[in-house]
């Protein structure tokens, strides 16, 4: 959406006033082949699965953490491409990291691959290896944790148990509804070999959004897996989809098929609710007042009340865009009301469900995704209440704070993120009104993630917020961005070791 700036102009802008100065000389990145926009763009087929992909995956699996960046740098200088490294990174994760006991924790080595890729392709060309090198190192940490927890590894599929292509879809649906891991594994392997990616996407969208477990990571896994497969090629799908099906069947206690549990109830109720939509519901008028009504409902309403409010708005002619405006801003508002892990995942889960909604070609699936996001936000709010007080902050009434003008506005805001997120949020409101093109702020925020980020959530959150900014209507866009101040990486944080390790790997 926004054009690239040169490295010289970018560093000059972000270092203005000295606040972002000293972030490090990135000249050493020129020792790696540049990652062009053409190379990162999807060609509709993805990179072919070359004979070398298995050795590259094994290199990631077997190389000690303290040597991996050096080994990968040597392969890149020898001709290994960005997409080959991306493919090996995802495949190493799904083969080595168990998405249990929760779809999260160590499994972020898989969940973060797409977020690192989004950060990479959205950055100036010469910075694009930094997120991938960070994700490589993160994989090794997760792999070590998995070893400590039992050293799980995905085993070969039971070929004798595979259903025929004609039966695979129905058997997969039955196994997922029964929460039967063995039958689901066999069925999804058969589907990966016979079904279209579009058909599989609709199935996984529904199962990824059906229950509120692992604070939204199931929906995130679906979106991120699909998006990465779209880059690396569908020929890699089978192990990825096997991992995904296994992740979506995570639960506690006996089979949820036998019980009416809070995590499952909205999904079951929304199947019936989705039939109440007017026939032409995907049309309608963008209505700022309607979005404000729904945002107010999200502040305290129950999952059932919010879902019924969505149906009422849609049936009176409001466009789905206005519903999404309220849901995305409402997710951000939860983070403002209680900064932390739950509010953060309200934002990243909404990003995943919004992506799935737009990528789906099924009217039925889209209805369910919209309603499930509406149901999940009150459930996130309830989860937050178990972690402490939830403030009564309302993003729609947040007042802007003036920028001092003593340094570049990007530097001032990102320094404030480290000191006082609320003030940073209010300054972002002023920035948005004065700077219609937010690219300089986005570039500076991403660079801080590369240089100071230490957690998968730094990548997941920043990629979600900076992407969804473009999917919120102009009336609400500045409010949504302001919420990002509560979890973006500020310039006052300590530098991580990535840049120095990458510099050393390249022999600089």
For 126-139, the three-class secondary structure string (H helix, E strand, C coil) is: HHCHHHHHHHHHHH
Tokens of 492: 């006052």
Q: In sequence order, which residues have a C-beta less than 8 Å from that of residue 159 and are 6 or more positions away? A: none
What pLDDT is stored for residue 127 in this prediction? 84
Does some domain include residue 1? no
Q: Is 59 in the same domain as 136?
A: yes
Query: Mean pLDDT, to the nearest integer, of 175-198?
Result: 97
Q: Is 449 in the same domain as 300?
A: no
What pLDDT is stored for residue 353 in this prediction? 98
Distance CA 435, CA 441 (A): 10
Last residue of a domain, one of 208, 234, 257: 257
Distance CA 138, CA 152 (A): 17
What pLDDT is stored for residue 499 in this prediction? 75
What pLDDT is stored for residue 49 in this prediction? 35
Instruction: Mean pLDDT check: name the lowest of 44-58, 110-124, 350-364, 459-473.
Output: 44-58
Give the bridge partners for 318, in sequence order.
285
501: pLDDT confidence band, cut at 50, 70 and 90? confident
Do the beta carbons of residue 359 and residue 201 sit within 8 Å? yes
Q: Is 248 in the same domain as 279?
A: no
Q: Is 441 in the same domain as 304?
A: no
pLDDT digit string (tens) for 374-408?
999 999 999 999 999 999 999 999 999 999 989 99
What pLDDT is stored for residue 39 in this prediction? 54
Q: Is 213 in the same domain as 75?
A: yes
Does some domain include residue 493? no
Distance CA 137, CA 72 (A): 11
Do the beta carbons of residue 344 and residue 457 sit within 8 Å? yes
pLDDT digit string (tens) for 454-492?
899 999 999 999 999 999 999 999 999 999 999 999 999
Last residue of a domain, one of 338, 361, 385: 385
Q: Is 196 in the same domain as 327?
A: no
pLDDT digit string (tens) for 293-334?
999 999 999 999 999 999 999 999 999 999 999 999 999 999
Distance set, CA 259 to CA 199, 207, 248, 263, 376 (Å): 29, 17, 17, 11, 19
Does some domain include residue 250? yes
**Domain residue limits at 348:** 265-385
Does some domain include residue 375? yes
Does some domain include residue 450? yes
Distance of CA 495 to the CA centre of its chain: 23
Does some domain include residue 8? no
Query: Mean pLDDT, to the nearest integer, of 430-441?
Result: 93
pLDDT digit string (tens) for 125-166?
878 899 999 999 999 999 999 999 999 998 888 999 999 999
Q: Is 323 in the same domain as 407?
A: no
Does some domain include residue 304? yes
Q: Is 206 in the same domain as 130?
A: yes
Do the beta carbons of residue 119 and residue 445 sit within 8 Å? no
37: pLDDT confidence band, cut at 50, 70 and 90? low
Number of domains within the chain? 3
Q: Is 107 in the same domain as 44?
A: yes
Q: Is 280 in the same domain as 216?
A: no
Do the beta carbons of residue 329 and residue 169 sit within 8 Å? no
Do the beta carbons of residue 329 and residue 476 sit within 8 Å? yes
Q: Is 29 in the same domain as 145?
A: yes
Residue 6 reports pLDDT greater than 80? no
Distance of CA 104 to the CA centre of its chain: 12
Do the beta carbons of residue 211 and residue 218 sit within 8 Å? yes
Which three-class secondary structure state does DSSP give residue 454? coil
Helix axes 363-385, 320-337, angle to 10 degrees: 20
Distance set, CA 253 to CA 66, 256, 365 (Å): 39, 8, 28
Residue 16 reports pLDDT greater than 80? no
Q: Is 117 in the same domain as 220?
A: yes
Distance CA 310, CA 270 (A): 11
Instruction: Mean pLDDT check: name the lowest of 94-103, 179-188, 335-344.
Output: 94-103
258: pLDDT confidence band, cut at 50, 70 and 90? confident
What pLDDT is stored for residue 38 in this prediction? 54
What pLDDT is stored for residue 100 in this prediction? 93
What pLDDT is stored for residue 24 in this prediction? 53
Tokens of 52: 């070398």
What pLDDT is stored for residue 30 in this prediction? 66
End-to-end CA distance of the chain: 34
pTM above 0.95, yes or no: no
Distance CA 63, CA 96 (A): 14
Does some domain include residue 471? yes
Distance set, CA 231 to CA 82, 138, 234 (Å): 10, 20, 9
Distance CA 157, CA 291 (A): 47
């Amino acid at each position: 959406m926004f054009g690239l700036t040169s490295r010289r102009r970018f560093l000059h802008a972000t270092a203005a006033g000295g606040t972002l100065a000293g972030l490090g000389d990135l000249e050493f990145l020129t020792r790696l082949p540049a990652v062009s926009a053409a190379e990162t763009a999807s060609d509709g087929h993805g990179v072919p699965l070359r004979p070398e992909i298995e050795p590259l995956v094994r290199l990631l699996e077997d190389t000690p953490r303290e040597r991996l960046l050096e080994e990968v740098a040597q392969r890149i200088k020898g001709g290994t491409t960005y997409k080959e490294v991306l493919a090996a990174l995802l495949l190493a994760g799904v083969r080595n990291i168990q998405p249990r006991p929760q779809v999260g924790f160590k499994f972020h080595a898989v969940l973060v691959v797409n977020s690192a890729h989004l950060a990479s392709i959205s950055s100036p060309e010469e910075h694009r290896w930094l997120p991938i090198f960070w994700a490589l190192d993160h994989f090794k940490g997760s792999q070590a944790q998995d070893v400590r927890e039992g050293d799980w590894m995905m085993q070969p599929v039971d070929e004798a148990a595979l259903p025929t292509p004609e039966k695979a879809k129905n058997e997969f649906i039955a196994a997922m509804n029964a929460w039967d891991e063995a039958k689901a594994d066999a069925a999804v392997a058969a589907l990966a070999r016979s079904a279209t990616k579009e058909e599989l996407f609709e199935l996984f969208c529904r199962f990824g959004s059906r229950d509120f477990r692992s604070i939204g990571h199931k929906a995130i896994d679906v979106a991120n897996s699909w998006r990465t497969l779209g880059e690396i090629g569908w020929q890699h799908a089978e192990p990825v989809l096997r991992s995904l099906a296994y992740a979506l069947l995570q639960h506690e206690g006996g089979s949820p098929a036998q019980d009416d549990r809070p995590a499952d109830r909205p999904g079951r109720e929304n199947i019936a609710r989705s039939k109440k939509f007017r026939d032409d519901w995907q049309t309608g008028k963008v209505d700022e007042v309607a979005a404000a009504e729904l945002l107010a409902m999200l502040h305290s309403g129950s999952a059932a009340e919010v879902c019924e409010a969505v149906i009422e708005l849609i049936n009176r002619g409001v466009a789905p865009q206005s519903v999404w405006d309220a849901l995305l801003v409402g997710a951000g508002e939860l983070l403002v009301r209680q900064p932390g892990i739950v509010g953060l995942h309200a934002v990243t889960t909404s990003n995943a469900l919004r992506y799935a909604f737009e990528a789906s070609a099924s009217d039925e699936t889209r209805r369910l995704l919209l309603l499930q996001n509406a149901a999940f936000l009150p459930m996130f709010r309830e989860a937050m209440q178990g972690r402490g007080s939830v403030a009564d902050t309302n993003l729609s009434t947040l007042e802007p704070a003036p920028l001092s003008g003593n340094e570049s506005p990007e530097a001032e805001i990102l320094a404030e993120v480290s000191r006082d997120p609320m003030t940073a949020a209010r300054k972002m409101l002023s920035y948005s009104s004065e700077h219609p093109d937010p690219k300089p702020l986005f570039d500076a925020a991403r660079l801080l993630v590369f240089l100071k980020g230490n957690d998968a959530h730094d990548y997941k959150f920043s990629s979600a917020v900076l992407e969804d900014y473009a999917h919120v209507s102009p009336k609400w866009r500045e409010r949504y961005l302001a919420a990002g101040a509560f979890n973006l990486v500020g310039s006052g944080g300590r530098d991580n070791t990535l840049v120095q390790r990458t510099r050393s790997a390249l022999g600089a």
